[in-house]
Amino acid sequence: MTATTPRNGQPPTASEAIPKPAPPVRVAVVQMCSGPDLERNLRVAERLVSEAASDGARLVLLPECFALLGPERLKLQVAEPLPEGGPILDRCRRLARESGVDVVLGGFWERGERPDRVRNACVHVDPTGTVRAVYRKIHLFDVDLPDGTRIAESDTIEAGPPDQAIVTETCAGPLGLSICYDVRFPELYRALVDRGARLLAVPAAFTLTTGKDHWHVLLRARAIESQCWVLAAAQGGRHFGDRVSYGHALVCDPWGTVVAEHADGDGYAIARVDLTAVERVRRALPALAHRRIGVAVR
């Protein structure tokens, strides 16, 4: 895809020219099936991040609930304060340092304001082990699904402030943070784009029922309307009891094409992310510049 003439009908000026291409960066989105066993989950996460780094990934995303997906009471037992953390965060910081990559902890159980609540936080840790950004999940998944699945996140989770739009600088470019159910609320992604995001993180634990019908559609829609890369790490498989996640960790380009996907089992999808693709799409189809509601993208 090539750039078209700017919307004013004049040839592009020097300031409007497509930037000099930067080297693509390999990015990996992890898929795993976390359960109530914290130690097992962390070992799997460590192995997959290390393998992805050995495969050339410089940015690796872990899914929502990567450290623990089990009975509600267990969240309260493992939650740690942020950004200082505790033994779980220390282990994740060491993983980033030893692997030499940016790691996004897709859903980290953070200690809440109340003793009976936690927060679901997306945490960016850089290759030095430094916490660079923390996003607290805004939209909580409270549903009774047709298959009998009932999930009430608000019973044990505090929602994050609704005015968050957290964009963090990574080796692959400016990354906007979100978590799972957030993907159904496009206004969050508009705000992230307005803050300069060129990539969007959507770590998730999508249920099988919703995932088979909505996962690909929603992620592709967010990529198309935001004209960003979408990086979606995922839980996949049976966790405990009747809780089953859809899987299909994937990377979607700014045109809405799925360029890498891991369907089933533990593993990761890896793709070469090129930020010039964002600029090409935004110039060829300047929908963001044509916005009439809200603040135009910069």
Indicate if the alpha-carbon torsion angle 165, 276, 273, 180 is positive or negative: positive
Report which of 158, 238, 199, 149 is spatially closest to residue 25, judged by C-alpha positions. Answer: 199
Integer Cα distance of 185 and 41 in angstroms = 29
Integer Cα distance of 111 and 127 in angstroms = 24
Tally of CA atoms within 13 A in the half-sphere of 252 that contains its CB = 26
- The alpha carbons of the chain give a radius of gyration, in whole angstroms, of 19
Helix (H) / strand (E) element for 6: namely none
Integer Cα distance of 192 and 86 in angstroms = 29
- Given the residues 33, 80, 122, 137, select the one marked as catalytic: 137
Is 64 annotated in the active site? yes
Cα-flanking dihedrals φ and ψ of residue 203, to 5°? -70, 140
Integer Cα distance of 141 and 168 in angstroms = 25
- Given the residues 33, 92, 122, 180, select the one marked as catalytic: 180
- Given the residues 33, 51, 64, 122, select the one marked as catalytic: 64
Is 98 annotated in the active site? no
The DSSP symbol for 12 reads P
Residues ≥6 apart with Cβ < 8 Å to 105: 62, 66, 89, 92, 121, 122, 123, 124, 125
Is 113 annotated in the active site? no
Determine the straight-line distance between the first and last CA of the chain, rounded to whole angstroms.
Answer: 22
Report which of 162, 30, 54, 52 is spatially closest to residue 105, judged by C-alpha positions. Answer: 30
Would you name the residues annotated as active-site residues?
64, 137, 180
